[in-house]
Amino acid sequence: MGEKTLTRMDLSEAVFREVGLSRNESAELVESVLTHMSDALVEGEQVKISSFGTFSVRDKAARVGRNPKTGEEVPIQPRRVLTFRPSHLMKERVAAGNKA
């Protein structure tokens, strides 16, 4: 399996090639979109991208966990976690890529 990671730079380069904005404008556009998504998630909103998936924030309650090595009970603090649920189209596309 490939170890390539898609970065902000890769996204802005794709915008530069596909849309035709300058490299600086492309980088600013990508940064603006990511900032807007982050801000919405911080506010507790869902971010839904058609044909891609939905990002949302969940509140997890406090609970008691166990250290797997020692078996010792450890309290886990309540926290907010980011979740991603891919769309059916994305799931199908990823599955089709695995068969190739």
- Per-residue pLDDT tens digits of the chain, which is 100 residues long: 457 899 999 999 999 999 989 999 999 999 999 999 999 999 999 999 999 999 999 999 999 999 999 999 999 999 999 999 999 999 999 999 876 5
Q: Where, residue-wise, is CATH 4.10.520.10 in the chain?
A: 44-99
Answer for the pair 75, 62: CB distance below 8 angstroms, yes or no.
Answer: yes
pLDDT of amino acid 97: 84
Decide yes or no: CATH 3.90.1200.10 for domain 44-99: no
Give me Rg for the CA atoms of the chain. 19
How many Cβ atoms from other residues are within 10 Å of residue 52's Cβ?
14
pTM of the model: 0.77
Answer for the pair 62, 76: CB distance below 8 angstroms, yes or no.
Answer: yes
Rounded distance, CA 62 to CA 55, Å? 22
